[in-house]
Amino acid sequence: MTVTSDQWHIDEGWLAAARRVPSPNFNARPAGIEPELIVIHGISLPPGEYGGPEIESLFTNGLDPDAHPYFAEIAHLKVSAHFLICRAGALTQFVATDDRAWHAGESCWQGRENCNDFSVGIELEGCDDEPYSDHQYESLQSLLAALRKAYPRIRGDAIVGHSDIAPGRKTDPGAAFDWSRVQRDCVEAIE
Q: Catalytic positions, please?
A: 123
Torsion of the alpha carbons at 42, 45, 51 and 53, rounded to the nearest 10: -120
Rounded distance, CA 99 to CA 78, Å?
A: 15
Read off the DSSP letter of residue 132.
Answer: P
3-state SS class at 58: helix
- Cβ count within 10 A of residue 18: 23
Give, in order, the Cα–Cα distances in Å from 14 to each of 9, 67, 77.
Answer: 8, 31, 24
In this structure, are residues 83 and 143 in contact, taking their beta carbons and an 8 Å threshold? Answer: yes
Residue of 96, 95, 113 lying closest to 104 (CA atoms): 113
